[in-house]
Structure 1
Amino acid sequence: MNFYSSLITQCAHTKSLTTLRAVHAHVISSGFSYCLLGHKLIDGYIKCGSVAEARKLFDEMPERHIVTWNSMISAHVSHGKSKQAVELYGNMLVEGVLPDAYTFSAIFKAFSELGLVRYGRRAHGLAVVLGLEVLDVFVASALVDMYAKFDRMRDAHLVFDRVLEKDVVLFTALIAGYAQQGLDGEALEVFREMVDRRVKPNEYTLASTLASCGNLVDSINGKLIHGFIVKSGLESFVASQTSLLTMYSRCNMVEDSVKVFNQLAYASHVTWTSFVVGLVQNGREEVAVSVFREMIRCSVSPNPFTLSSILQACSSLAMLEVGEQIHAITTKLGMEGNKYAGAALINLYGKCGNVDKARSVFDVLTELDLVSVNSMIYAYAQNGFGYEALQLFKRIKKLGLAPNGVTFISILLACNNAGLVEEGCQLFAFMKNNHNIELTREHFTCMIDLLGRSKRFEEAAMLIKEVTNPDVVLWRTLLNACRIHGEIEMAEKIMRKVLQLAPGDGGTHILLTNLYASAGKWNQVIEMKTTIRDLKLKKSPAMSWVDVDRGVHTFMAGDMSHPRAHEIFDMLHELIEKVKTLGYSPDTRFVLQDLHEEKKMSSLYYHSEKLAIAFALWKTCGRTTAIRIFKNLRVCGDCHSWIKFVTLLTGRDIIARDSKRFHHFKGGLCSCKDYW
């Protein structure tokens, strides 16, 4: 028997399932009883990864020891078969076998994973009867973990309090439970108690505590724990590294995060991902892209979360070319169909104005979830594809999904950008009548913008009154619509409302100043500018930028600072003269200064978007690819008209993203149909 026992041990150690099966067959043919070698064989099958064969042998055994029951229950839990583990536990009790500490530690985990609160409490009662709850810290830790996952932190703390000899595992279970439930202050209190009792924390304790420090933006305690990690020699552990990086990024201490990362002797893919995510969350997108490149050079394979984060950085920077390279990496790693990476790719292409590419990514997703669908609807919305957005919205129910608040914001924005007023009104009415949908200020803002831009000012004003405590954003949205349509009288009424809520609101003063200027009311313009100066308000200068041959070039109105300014202005003058022959006529209504007519025309010629396009056409002469420009403010109406003529003249498509949306110019037309 010792011979067979040694063979089984060797098979388990080397995970040789085929050899173990042969040994098993030989044991049967030799007439050995399962009572002698049954547990050893079951343990061997479990260690070789064949829980099914272990279970088959277990069911054939006439007598089963508590150790064998524990092995089977634990194996099923660790292999994600908690339901079968609970069934085994029930059979064990029926057969009169009393559970021990190892049984409870495994079965409590199964109950928590299945959400079986009643069963968990019943097993807890049995543990109390058997005297294991207070005396065995192993069982108490499993109980605390179970109650935490049931979101019953009061019960978890009661169990914790009854244990006399508390160890690091028990403290860690309670701290992690509070952290996971968002009770970060309580987690730190338990950690302080742990320190007071001189119980030495491990890397998992510190990881949970650092997570709570990050959530509370508590950099003081975070730094103290960092010091403890260094003194304890735990810096090399992945959990410590990841938690430190996450804590510093959540506390907006990016430089400290960089120091931690640079001091690492080895960084796992989890650590790289935490670092990249932290940089993106803190607006350091360009640094994140550099770090990601270094990660690839170090042959560290990114996971879907890394890819989704770095693609988010590319979206924010509108770095289409870099995004396409990351898309290629995603495809190479076989993750293009992953819902996280897929949603990020859809978002990237949507924000870079390539809706067709966004849709092609959407169509190959292996698992459609609401995030992916929302990303696609938003991509359509940004680019003015209102009907396509509505078609996808109608498919949501067929996909077995329920639209949420983000879905409705995206579809209302799609109606807004495409001028689908009635469709937007119908959707909003549906939302108001559906008690399962919570209307937010964002929904009202979209609807007010839609009504205002279609000159339905009274309806928009009535809608604002439906909002409890309407804020500045709602009124300013309607004010912007008044500016677009030159509605001075209503704009003045709205301004009085806004200034009651926020007397020093700069955006409102600037909007009304522009409205007066476009209407030629220069006395009012002077008054408004005096007020703006007295309030020390600053207006953001209009800027446009274009990415050509991996270089970003930024322009302001009349900008002569570019090293190739001479060539740019020559190209611009040539374009202006040629498009005039096609019917372009400068629209001086968009000059917001009191100038002579000739100077107004000259002023229009040197707007930032015109300079960016002239540079791109000069730099890419002879190419046929689309030109992509970006502007921080709304595209000027005269520039909008001029760009249409330029596409007709040059045969080049121009894609322009302003503060509101994308405009796709092609063959003398714009995708917005002059509604924006």
Structure 2
Amino acid sequence: MVTAHDNVPRLCPLFHLKSFTCIAQLSSETLFNCTSLAEASQFYSSLIQRCIEKKSFTDATVIHTHILKFGFLHLNIGNKLTDAYFKCSCIVDARKLFDELPNRFIVTWNSMISYYINHRRSKEAILLYTRMVPEGVLPDEFTFSSVFKAFSELGLVNQGQQAHGLSVVLGLEVSNVFVGSALVDMYAKFGKMKDARLVSNRVMDKDVVLFTALIVGYNQQGDGGGALEVFGNMINQGIKANEYTFASILITCGNLEDLSVGKLVHGLAIKSGFESAVASQTSLLTMYARCGLIIDSLNVFNKILHPNQVTWTSLIVGLVQNDKAELALSKFREMIRSSLSPNSFTLSSVIQACSSLAMLESGKQIHTIVMKFGLDTDGYAGAALIDMYGKCGSTEMARSVFGTLIQVNVVSMNSMIYGYAQNGFGYEALKLFKKMKDLELEPNGVTILSVLLACKNAGLVDEGCQIFDSIRNNYKSIELTRDHYACMVDLLGRCGRLEEAEMLIKQVSNQDVVLWRTLLSACKIHGEVEMAERAVNEALDITPGDEGTHILMSNLYASTGNWSQVIEMKSSMREMKLKKNPAMSWVDVNTEVHTFTAGDWSHPRSREILETLENLMEKVKKLGYVPDARFVLQDFDEENKKRSLYCHSEKLALAFALWMTSDKTTSIRIFKNLRVCGDCHSWIKFVSKVVGREIVARDAKRFHHFKEGCCSCGDYW
């Protein structure tokens, strides 16, 4: 039995330990036969090891108390007990014990630092690292490989470089590939690819981890060519790629939309036995999606036995990016049914799908899921929800989501400003734009485009011109693009300042067909044929076969009654095999989408639609509606012109929706692929007064909210 004479702390009788679940299994001989300090230390170590295996925090605290009571806390046992607290995820107790120990193993330092970093507490990890040398402990390769990650995560370039210097002094940069790889990764995340490359060239034993870190770094900097070069060097040096190397280089191929190299890498992954690796498969389906090969992307996905959250999200994102919104929503429902929780990126993508389809009800359902997973205050999901509600014409809901965000950033601001702009709330958009200064948020190119769009849609010409000039003269950091100039040309052109609009186009160094086409559209509104012909010549000089230019000029000639020129334009279009997209309108009734084209009476409810339409026509004419034949683009007699106006696609869609629904508290939402015509705009205003319901119409340009005979656009569109 251990005694005080042996300089070993006196151990307690066995009955003191009976309460321990892990200790009760030990025989009494084990405790009382300890004849030396080493045996007693081994005994306690075995108890602590059992706590670690069971991850029993309760047992660990009881043993800790017992050790303190009998004065047995020394270096080996203290470090072992600290490790037990780590394994039980009790970081507070581990740190308290760590600070109390008079001496600490380097392993314990590394465990503390690693734990902090893995739990995204990098600041605490760095503070602990800075204590090592003053306390006489030199960091080793495991310390550096961890702490470099903390420096990169916090963007602490200078401190990272200082730690790099210490690793050089200790001879670890060149001799240890773990340190070298961590350094490469750190410099890559700092965007210092030159330094990352210099480190990699000095490391003697280069391995796949180091090369993969370089590839990831080049990807993060948008340098796909650099990533491919590193991959090629790795293969030439006979170093075999692993799952993460293939995943990274496939992402490179996707970013570059380089299908040929992507297929070669795919083949190499198969040959190397990594085709079934989840990371490789996820990157593979992403690569095919970014190259526009959705079928191939789906084929890869269908071969994955157990797709995880990242894989599902990658597929859904790819579908949305390739205009497969309905399929993306279908796959999202499959994901939910498979009991996998979506993250903010998944939800942002499906919300975007709802936006592109203008599916308000589906969007509301996704919003409910967002709230269920507690992501309604997340910046990404919040901005996507604001955008979706704005694009579905529900500004109030967009404003409501915006108001719940804990932290407002430029992205969410842009989404809200754009939502206001789309729906004609110009003053609200300007007010929010001015508020950005109070919040110290710097506007970017998207902000400026959104606020200019708001000015254009609300007819705020002076305000728009002031903002545009201010950006041109004072914000050199914001590059004005073709879209900004096109918005200004439209703003000036629609209010009749055509000469200024034309002069603005001529100030653009790289003129674009879209700018001249925008001016041409404004000329059509004001019947300015001479300037329109100049705009056509300029546009066709840039893009001879531009379909939109021919159609706009043909429509202008038709609106001014110049039918011989219309015939000539259409003949020219036939020779060039150009086709005009037919006007289409659609409406979502009881979660089913019904589509209509002008003059098409093939709908199963055509008889009811016609009856509803004739009834409406009779009522609106009594209120003062007069068909405007200027918007008939065919050479009919006056009576047939008026009859042709009756069957425009938006009129058919609205008549059907009114026949199908009777609840006056519910808004009717119709959508059109082209700009709503002036006659239909006037007609819908009268209809909204007749039926006493709000009618929301989204055309190719903006939303119109019709209520009580008025439109939110103020007839400025």
Which bin holds the TM-score, normalised by the shorter protein?
over 0.9
1:637 aligns with 2:686: no
Q: Structure 1 residues 330 and 59, CA, compared in 2 at 3 Å: closer, same or farther?
A: closer
1:592 aligns with 2:633: yes
Task: State whether residues 235 and 241 of structure 1, in contact with CA within 8 Å, keep that contact through their aligned partners in structure 2.
Answer: yes
Q: Structure 1 residues 78 and 324, CA, compared in 2 at 3 Å: closer, same or farther?
A: closer
Give the Cα separation in 2 of the matches to 1:382 and 1:352. Answer: 10
Q: Within 5 Å, which residues of 2 pair with 1:121-520? A: 121-435=161-475, 436-520=477-561
Residue in structure 2 matching 1:626, options 667, 670, 675: 667
Amino acid at match of 2:560: A
Q: Secondary structure, in 3 states, of the residue corresponding to 2:599? A: coil
Amino acid at match of 1:29: K
Q: In the alignment, what sits opposite 2:704?
A: 663
Q: Structure 1 residues 114 and 605, CA, compared in 2 at 3 Å: closer, same or farther?
A: closer
Q: In the alignment, what sits opposite 1:91?
A: 131
Q: Secondary structure, in 3 states, of the residue corresponding to 2:670? A: strand
Residue in structure 2 matching 1:34, options 51, 55, 74: 74
Task: State whether residues 344 and 375 of structure 2, in contact with CA within 8 Å, keep that contact through their aligned partners in structure 1.
Answer: yes
Q: Which moved more, 1:319-328 or 1:124-133?
A: 124-133
Deviation at 1:317, TM superposition (A): 1.0
Q: Secondary structure, in 3 states, of the residue corresponding to 2:159? A: helix
Q: In the alignment, what sits opposite 2:657?
A: 616
Amino acid at match of 1:493: R
Deviation at 1:142, TM superposition (A): 1.4
Q: Secondary structure, in 3 states, of the residue corresponding to 1:531? A: helix
Give the Cα separation in 2 of the matches to 1:468 and 1:386. Answer: 30
Deviation at 1:417, TM superposition (A): 0.7
1:541 aligns with 2:541: no
Q: Secondary structure, in 3 states, of the residue corresponding to 1:397? A: helix
Q: Which moved more, 1:95-104 or 1:406-415?
A: 95-104
Q: Secondary structure, in 3 states, of the residue corresponding to 1:211? A: helix
Q: Structure 1 residues 525 and 100, CA, compared in 2 at 3 Å: closer, same or farther?
A: same
Deviation at 1:228, TM superposition (A): 4.1
Deviation at 1:45, TM superposition (A): 2.6
Cα deviation, 1:49-106, whole Å, max 9, x if unaligned, reads 3334333333333333333333333333333333343343333223443332222212
1:59 aligns with 2:99: yes
If you compute each CA radius of gyration, which structure gives the higher value, 1 or 2? 2
Cα deviation, 1:315-361, whole Å, max 9, x if unaligned, reads 11111221122122222222222222221121111111111121122
Cα deviation, 1:413-468, whole Å, max 9, x if unaligned, reads 11111111222122223222323433222222111111111111122222223322
Cα deviation, 1:640-670, whole Å, max 9, x if unaligned, reads 1111111111222211111111111111111
Deviation at 1:313, TM superposition (A): 0.7
Give the Cα separation in 2 of the matches to 1:571 and 1:423. Answer: 43
Q: In the alignment, what sits opposite 2:35?
A: none
Q: Structure 1 residues 523 and 220, CA, compared in 2 at 3 Å: closer, same or farther?
A: closer
Q: Structure 1 residues 162 and 437, CA, compared in 2 at 3 Å: closer, same or farther?
A: closer
Q: Secondary structure, in 3 states, of the residue corresponding to 2:706? A: strand
Q: Which moved more, 1:512-521 or 1:120-129?
A: 120-129
Amino acid at match of 1:292: F
Q: In the alignment, what sits opposite 2:152?
A: 112
Q: Structure 1 residues 397 and 7, CA, compared in 2 at 3 Å: closer, same or farther?
A: farther
Cα deviation, 1:150-172, whole Å, max 9, x if unaligned, reads 22222222222233332222222
Number of aligned residues: 676
Q: Which moved more, 1:22-31 or 1:654-663?
A: 22-31
Q: Structure 1 residues 154 and 575, CA, compared in 2 at 3 Å: closer, same or farther?
A: same
Q: In the alignment, what sits opposite 1:4?
A: 44
Q: Which moved more, 1:570-579 or 1:604-613?
A: 570-579
Question: Unpaired segments of 5 or more residues in structure 2?
Answer: 1-40
Q: Secondary structure, in 3 states, of the residue corresponding to 1:554? A: strand
Q: Which moved more, 1:131-140 or 1:302-311?
A: 131-140
Give the Cα separation in 2 of the matches to 1:566 and 1:42. Answer: 81
Q: In the alignment, what sits opposite 2:61?
A: 21
Q: Secondary structure, in 3 states, of the residue corresponding to 1:343? A: helix
Deviation at 1:279, TM superposition (A): 0.7
Deviation at 1:3, TM superposition (A): 2.4
Q: Structure 1 residues 145 and 353, CA, compared in 2 at 3 Å: closer, same or farther?
A: same
What TM-score, normalized to structure 1?
Answer: 0.95
Amino acid at match of 1:30: F
Give the Cα separation in 1 of the matches to 2:169 and 2:315. Answer: 48
Deviation at 1:28, TM superposition (A): 1.8
Q: Secondary structure, in 3 states, of the residue corresponding to 1:133? A: coil
Deviation at 1:306, TM superposition (A): 0.9
Amino acid at match of 2:412: S
Amino acid at match of 1:146: M
Q: In the alignment, what sits opposite 2:31?
A: none
Task: State whether residues 418 and 672 of structure 1, in contact with CA within 8 Å, keep that contact through their aligned partners in structure 2.
Answer: yes
Q: Secondary structure, in 3 states, of the residue corresponding to 1:135? A: coil
Residue in structure 2 matching 1:647, options 688, 710, 713: 688
Q: Structure 1 residues 33 and 303, CA, compared in 2 at 3 Å: closer, same or farther?
A: closer
Q: Structure 1 residues 298 and 72, CA, compared in 2 at 3 Å: closer, same or farther?
A: closer
Coordinate RMSD, CA, aligned = 2.1
Give the Cα separation in 1 of the matches to 2:65 and 2:425. Answer: 67
Q: Structure 1 residues 621 and 63, CA, compared in 2 at 3 Å: closer, same or farther?
A: closer
Q: Secondary structure, in 3 states, of the residue corresponding to 1:437? A: coil
Q: Which moved more, 1:538-547 or 1:496-505?
A: 496-505
Task: State whether residues 657 and 668 of structure 2, in contact with CA within 8 Å, keep that contact through their aligned partners in structure 1.
Answer: yes
Give the Cα separation in 2 of the matches to 1:127 and 1:308. Answer: 42
Identity of aligned residues (%): 65
Residue in structure 1 matching 2:568, options 527, 544, 553: 527
Cα deviation, 1:498-547, whole Å, max 9, x if unaligned, reads 23323332222221221121111222222322332333322111111111
Cα deviation, 1:522-577, whole Å, max 9, x if unaligned, reads 22222322332333322111111111122222212111222222222222222212
Give the Cα separation in 1 of the matches to 2:154 and 2:609. Answer: 67
Question: Unpaired segments of 5 or more residues in structure 1?
Answer: none
Q: In the alignment, what sits opposite 2:38?
A: none
Task: State whether residues 174 and 180 of structure 2, in contact with CA within 8 Å, keep that contact through their aligned partners in structure 1.
Answer: yes
Task: State whether residues 546 and 553 of structure 1, in contact with CA within 8 Å, keep that contact through their aligned partners in structure 2.
Answer: yes
Q: In the alignment, what sits opposite 2:14?
A: none
Task: State whether residues 396 and 402 of structure 1, in contact with CA within 8 Å, keep that contact through their aligned partners in structure 2.
Answer: yes
Q: Structure 1 residues 350 and 5, CA, compared in 2 at 3 Å: closer, same or farther?
A: same
What TM-score, normalized to structure 2?
Answer: 0.90
Amino acid at match of 1:401: L
Q: Structure 1 residues 562 and 205, CA, compared in 2 at 3 Å: closer, same or farther?
A: same
Amino acid at match of 2:183: L
Task: State whether residues 664 and 692 of structure 2, in contact with CA within 8 Å, keep that contact through their aligned partners in structure 1.
Answer: no
Give the Cα separation in 1 of the matches to 2:567 and 2:400. Answer: 52
Task: State whether residues 193 and 218 of structure 2, in contact with CA within 8 Å, keep that contact through their aligned partners in structure 1.
Answer: yes
Task: State whether residues 236 and 265 of structure 1, in contact with CA within 8 Å, keep that contact through their aligned partners in structure 2.
Answer: no
